[in-house]
């Protein structure tokens, strides 16, 4: 699948530039309907927040997101990943990865792709995407990892 096709699949990705921050920050999450990532200029962001997005992407889509992240961040850029944590409690009711049914407040139901992350998953992502992670928090609901680009990207 080409990069253009994968970005086309990511139509539910919300991309916004956070101007209130003293740094030039990029915020990517799965709660919107804007596909503006293609319109952003390379190397223009100091930092990025990736909130509850990676857990809805296939392996191929994840590769494209990290490639795009590397192009959008300045060489000394940092990013924070917040996403759903995998733990014993979740294992009692969920699969670590796969399709899940979700019910909205109005009763409508739909299926989503969902995966959960533990520390080991971030170790694997480091090697796969050429980034460095420091796990800042692992809780019952979410995991937070601070990332930076490896030198030479």
DSSP designation for 121: H
pTM (two decimals): 0.78
Q: Report the number of distinct structural domains present in the chain.
A: 1
Q: Would you state the pLDDT for residue 23?
A: 58
Q: What is the pLDDT of residues 47-83, one digit of tens each?
A: 899 999 999 999 998 998 899 899 889 988 899 999 9
Domain of residue 65, CATH code: 3.40.50.150
Query: Cα 5 vs. chain centroid, distance in angstroms?
Result: 18
Of 41 and 112, the one with more pLDDT: 112
User: Is 138 within the bounds of a domain?
Assistant: yes
Residue 76 domain boundaries? 3-86+115-149
Q: Do the Cβ atoms of 104 and 113 come closer than 8 Å?
A: no
The 10 Å CB-count burial string (b at 16+, else e) for 15-44 is: beeeeeeeeebbbbbbeeeebebeeeeeee
User: Is 79 within the bounds of a domain?
Assistant: yes
User: Is 97 within the bounds of a domain?
Assistant: no
User: Is 74 within the bounds of a domain?
Assistant: yes
Average pLDDT over residues 116-121: 97
Q: What is the CB neighbour count within 10 angstroms for residue 45?
A: 23
User: Is 77 within the bounds of a domain?
Assistant: yes
User: Is 46 within the bounds of a domain?
Assistant: yes
DSSP designation for 7: H
User: Is 106 within the bounds of a domain?
Assistant: no
pLDDT at residue 13 above 60?
no
- Name 32's Cβ contacts closer than 8 Å, sequence gap at least 6: 12, 13, 14, 15, 16
């Amino acid at each position: 699948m080409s990069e253009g096709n994968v970005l086309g699949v990511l139509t539910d990705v919300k991309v916004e530039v956070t101007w209130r921050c003293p740094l030039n920050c990029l915020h990517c999450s799965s709660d919107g309907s804007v596909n503006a990532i293609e319109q952003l200029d390379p190397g223009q962001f100091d930092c990025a927040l990736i909130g509850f997005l990676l857990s809805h992407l296939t392996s191929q889509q994840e590769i494209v997101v990290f490639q795009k992240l590397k192009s959008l961040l300045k060489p000394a850029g940092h990013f924070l990943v917040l996403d759903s944590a995998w733990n014993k409690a979740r294992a009692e009711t969920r699969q670590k990865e796969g399709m899940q049914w979700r019910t909205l407040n109005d009763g409508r139901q739909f299926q989503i792709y969902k995966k959960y992350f533990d520390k080991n998953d971030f170790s694997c992502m480091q090697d796969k995407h050429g980034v460095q992670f420091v796990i800042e928090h692992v809780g019952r609901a979410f995991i937070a990892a601070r990332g930076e680009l490896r030198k030479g990207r």
